[in-house]
Amino acid sequence: MNLLANIISLTIVFAVPLMLVALGGMYSEHSGVINLALEGIMVIGALCACFTLQAMDKNGFGPVHPQLSMLLAILVAGLSGMVFSLLLAFAAINLKADQTIGGTALNTFAPAFAVVVTWAVQGQGLTTIQIPSWIRITQATFGLEAGNGFFDSLIFKYFYLTTPIAVVLFFAAWILMYKTRFGLRLRACGEHPQAADSVGINVYKMRYSGVLISGFLGGIGGLAYTIAVGSGFSSSVGGYGFLALAVMIFGNWKPLQILGSSVFFALFKVIAAYNSSIPFLPKLEGLKDKSSLYQMLPYVVTMIVLIFTSKNSQAPKAEGIPYDKGSR
Amino acid sequence: MKQKKSLAENGMLISILASVISIVVGLLFGFILLMILNPAKAGIGMSAMLTTGFSSMDQFGKVLYQSAPLMLCGLSVGFASKTGMFNIGASGQYTIGAFCALVGAIALQLPWYCCLVLALVGGGVWGIFPGLFKAVFNVNEVITSIMFNWIGMFMVNLLYANMPIMLASAWGASNSDRSAALSAANRGAIIPKAGLDKLFGNSSWINISVFIAILVAVIVWFILEKTTFGYELKACGLNKEASRYAGINANRNIVVSMIIAGGLSGLGGGLYYLAGTIQYVLEKRILSMGFNGIPVSLLANSNPIGTIFSSLFISYIQVGGSAMQPNFSSESTDIIIAVIIYLAAFALLTRGLIVRLLTGRNRKEGKA
């Protein structure tokens, strides 16, 4: 039973970054900008947040007010992701640059920048930022007895502030996208910017908002990923930014389906780690390195799904095309 | 006056100027960043990056050796972009190519040139997917390429783990986390040095791979500029609908150009791992060589001949970057590369600016 609790809680903790970042990608793409830079945004968010946590740990505020510090770190992650995504927005919207190339530039920049800065701050060769242990929400946070039962493992084994925040952000993102005037206008800019402009919507402003929201969510996602992995931040988010793109496509650019597909992808990640101890999986005797197989499967499934859904894909029609007022 | 006007209209010159400007801006940005991080050592770090490549024949040999796979990945990205495709999947094709080359070398005990053909074929097979998905299902090639980068990496790791003969542990070494050293497994699969090692002060890096890469660059240039096939590919890239109207089978061309682009990256993987100095390490991360094909191609403005020079430059600062340690991390070069890519993203704007500057200057000179 404890194995089941572990699998569920690990799946949740890995689904959180995927969902947040994929939602971010969704916002950017619905506004009409392909955000390939999610990986880089995650790295920058995680970098800044981890430095914040480290500083909190050193000045003694963190151990005393752990969740308040964590909230601060989450905000730092979101804001730094936002600032970094400005680079993409500026190139893609103002300069009408090629969005994929701009995103590739940001993805090249972020991990390199993270290594160089950590190296310079922590000294040569020390490229991992340790995360303080007090950030985890434990039974003690609620004044409960620490236990070892099913629900203790299920809830408290991998419980961080990022999880409840992600739930809040999910509903906020859903409402903002489908129940507000802003969301409708944003989607219009991704479908037919010329039409949106003709009724007085400022396409540039909307696209900026889309990219900045994706930067905010991507930055928090970076921190959530680093926490999920649990071994400190070493200037990488292990391709989760790209995986989140797959989640977004698999989720057909819609929040609820993105939630479902992020759980699906996270489950495969966890199965890859636990495959030897899960009884109902096929044993595949004689096959070595089964974790590679399980980690490969979500990508293969995404490609197969793409074949079947490409004919009626919900992808925003105008994504990737710079909007030129003059060509209206 | 007339002569100067043609200067501003010279596309080649503007491309070169745009690349030089982005390199200079990239280097300046890198230098400023180093100044902020560690003012005392910034000068030393920067000069290490910019001089190491020429500091000894051994280091220069390394520059040439690393430029070969970079050149091929750059050619791959550039070739695909001629047909309007962004081949971000060079990394996956490169990984598959390297794997096929090493299977030929270690498991099948083939000579090096057969292994290179295997690398070419392997990369080409991996290039089919983005092309086919685009042509048949209209799936964005960027998405397919990214997915197949990961599928390729996991698949290769899975295959290595299940082919014990491929691992170093089967050939007298103790580690099973990497492919067998070619010096132990099959000396005939190592790309010959043709006496170049003596010329380069017994450099362990240098071999004929850079000349193979240059030869390939010339062949690619010939295909693109001098054949009907190349003309059709470029027509597809410039305007898919117009080329279809002109009777060109655009979908077929997309698939074929991606197969060729994949083959080029794959060959790059073969050249890198058949040198005998590097073993493939089983790690769960995407190899950066394929991604570095993107700046190489962008700097050269997708021109095959320009790719020769841009790959030499990128290789040069990468070799220099590893000499920046311990003062700075070698990733400093990636920051400069990132700035170069960023500037290339709005190359049109930069080019417009250069043209305006050139013509503006001409006007002034005309007045005087």
- Contact assessment for residue A77 and residue A220, using Cβ atoms and an 8 Å cutoff: yes
Question: Structure tokens of A195?
Answer: 């039409």
Q: Specify whether the CB–CB gap between B279 and B179 falls below 8 A.
A: yes
* Tokens at B117, concatenated: 């053909």
* pLDDT over 90 at B209, yes or no: yes
End-to-end CA distance of chain B: 12
Could you tell me which of B174, B163, B193, B333 has the C-alpha nearest to residue B275?
A: B193
**Under a CB-based contact definition with an 8 Å cutoff, are residues B135 and B147 in contact?**
no
Q: Count the residues in chain A.
A: 328
Tell how far CA B145 is from the center of its chain.
Answer: 16
Could you state, in order of their start, the residue ranges of all structural domains in chain B?
A: 1-38+333-368, 55-327
Tracing tokens 């050149």 back to the chain, one arrives at B71
Q: Do A105 and B286 touch (CB under 8 A)?
A: no
A-B CB pairs within 8 A amount to 150
Interface test with B, best of A33, A38, A107, A109 (most B CBs within 10 A): A109
**pLDDT the model gives residue A307:** 85
Q: Which of B151, B327, B334 sits opposite A296 (nearest CB)?
A: B151
To test the contact with chain A by mutation, choose from B289, B342, B343, B348 the residue with the greatest count of A C-beta atoms within 10 A, namely B342
Give me chain A's average pLDDT, please: 89
Residue A129's φ and ψ, nearest 5 degrees, are -90, 120
Q: Tell how far CA B19 is from the center of its chain.
A: 16
A306 to B161: CB separation less than 8 angstroms, yes or no: no
Confidence of residue B2 (pLDDT cuts 50, 70, 90): very low
Q: Which residues of A touch B37 (CB under 8 A)?
A: 116-117, 120
How many residues does this entry show for chain B? Answer: 368
Interchain contact, B338 vs A117, CB within 8 Å: no
Burial class (CB in 10 A: 0-12, 13-18, 19+), B198: exposed
Q: What is the pLDDT of residue B367?
A: 47
Picking from A267, A248, A100, the residue whose alpha carbon sits closest to that of residue B345 is A100
Lowest mean pLDDT among A143-152, A243-252, B40-49: A143-152
Chain A residue with the nearest C-alpha to that of B330: A116
The closest of B102, B103, B79, B101 to B89, measured between CA atoms, is B79
Nearest Cα of chain B lies from the Cα of A242 at a distance, in angstroms, of 7
**Percent of chain B residues past pLDDT 90, beyond the cut:** 51
Please name every residue paired with B167 in a beta bridge, in sequence order, or none if there are none.
B179
Strand partners, B179: B167
pLDDT one-digit tens code per residue, A172-207: 999 999 999 999 999 999 999 999 999 999 999 999
Class of B55-327 in CATH: mainly alpha
User: How near does any CA of chain B get to the CA of A91, in Å?
Assistant: 7
Distance from CA of B329 to the nearest CA of A (A): 5
Using CA atoms, how far apart are residues A143 and B157, in angstroms rounded to an integer? 47
Most A CBs within 10 A among B346, B348, B349, hence the mutation to make, goes to B346
Instruction: Label each residue of B196-256 as H, E or C.
Output: HHHHCCCCCCCCCHHHHHHHHHHHHHHHHHHCHHHHHHHHHHHCHHHHHHCCCCHHHHHHH
Encode pLDDT of A157-167 as tens digits. Answer: 888 999 999 99
**pLDDT at residue A292 is higher than 60:** yes
Residue B262 pLDDT = 97
pLDDT at B63 over 90: yes
pLDDT for position B94? 96
Segment B98-109 shows an average pLDDT of 94
Name the residue type at position B42. A
Terminal C-alpha separation, chain A: 61
Whether the pLDDT of residue B8 is over 70: the answer is no
Number of Cβ within 10 Å of residue A28's Cβ equals 37
Binary contact (B162, A287; C-beta < 8 A): yes
pLDDT in tens, B131-183: 999 888 888 888 899 899 999 999 999 999 898 888 888 888 888 888 888 88
Q: Which of A17-21, A149-153, A188-192, A317-321 has the lowest mean pLDDT?
A: A149-153
Instruction: Note whether B37 contacts A239, CB cutoff 8 Å.
Output: no
Closest CB from B149, B151, B328 relative to A116:
B328
Does B291 sit within 8 Å of A108, measured CB to CB? yes
Interface contact flag, B334 A117, Cβ < 8 Å: no
pLDDT in tens, B348-359: 777 888 888 877
Spatial separation of the C-alpha atoms in residues B101 and B110, rounded to whole Å: 9
**Tens digits of per-residue pLDDT, A3-17?**
888 889 999 999 999
Nearest to B341 among A108, A246, A287 (CB): A108
The secondary structure of A52-81 as a DSSP string is: HHHHHHHTTHHHHSHHHHHHHHHHHHHHHH
Chain B hits for A104, CB-CB cut-off 8 Å, are: 88, 291, 294, 341
Contacts of B305 by beta carbon, 8 Å cutoff, 6+ apart: B217, B218, B221
Is it the case that residue B112 has pLDDT exceeding 90?
yes
Task: Quickly count: other Cβ atoms within 10 Å of residue B189's Cβ.
Answer: 26
- Residues of chain B in contact with residue A287, where contact means CB-CB under 8 angstroms, are 162
Token pair recorded at residue B60? 């220069």
**Per the CB < 8 Å rule, is A101 touching B137?**
no
Contacting residues of B for A111, CB less than 8 Å apart: 331, 334
Task: Give strand pairing partners of B281.
Answer: B178
pLDDT in tens, B288-346: 888 899 999 999 989 999 999 999 999 999 999 988 887 888 888 999 999 999 998 88
Contacts of B346 in chain A (CB under 8 A): 91, 95-98, 102
Show the tokens assigned to A7.
């699998």
Q: Residue A302, Cα to own-chain centre: how many angstroms?
A: 18
| Cα B24 to Cα B146: distance, rounded to the nearest angstrom | 30
Name the residue with tokens 């003694």.
Answer: A60
d(CA A207, CA A31): 5
Confidence of residue B7 (pLDDT cuts 50, 70, 90): low
Subunit contact A101:B344, Cβ cutoff 8 A? yes
Residue A279's pLDDT is 72
Interface test with A, best of B150, B294, B330 (most A CBs within 10 A): B150
Three-state SS at B167: strand
User: What does each C-alpha distance from B343 to A322, B15, B339 come to in angstroms?
Assistant: 16, 13, 6
Q: Compute CA B7 distance to the chain's CA centroid, rounded to the nearest angstrom.
A: 30
Closest alpha carbon to B48 in B312, B316, B335:
B316
**Nearest CB neighbour to A101, from listed B137, B158, B345:** B345
The least confident of A37-46, B13-22, B128-137, B350-359 is B350-359
The per-residue pLDDT of chain B, averaged, comes to: 88
Find chain B residues with C-beta within 8 A of A242's C-beta.
146, 149-150
Q: Which two tokens stand for residue B326?
A: 């311990």
Closest-CA distance, B298 to chain A, in angstroms, reads: 9
Which positions in chain B touch A96 (Cβ < 8 Å)?
346, 348-349
Tell the burial category of B269 from Cβ atoms under 10 Å away from its Cβ (0-12, 13-18, 19+): buried
Tokens of A38: 């999610």
Q: What is the pLDDT of residue B29?
A: 93
Separation of alpha carbons A268 and A162, rounded Å: 21
The per-residue pLDDT for range A47-89, each reduced to its tens digit, is: 999 999 999 999 888 888 889 999 999 999 999 999 999 999 9
Least confident of A63-77, A224-238, A273-287, B80-94: A273-287
CB B316 within 8 A of CB B63: yes
Q: Are A139 and A145 in contact (CB under 8 A)?
A: yes
- Which residues, in sequence order, are CB contacts of B49 under 8 Å at separation 6+? B30, B317, B320, B321, B323, B324, B332, B333
Residue B107 has pLDDT above 80, yes or no: yes
Q: φ, ψ for residue B108 (rounded to 5)?
A: -100, -10
Going through chain A in order, the beta strands assigned E by DSSP cover none
Determine whether B6 is exposed, middle or buried from the number of CB atoms within 10 Å of its CB (0-12, 13-18, 19+): exposed
Residue of A nearest to B334 (CA): A112
Half-sphere exposure at residue A226, Cβ-oriented, CA atoms within 13 angstroms: 33
Mean pLDDT of A264-282: 80
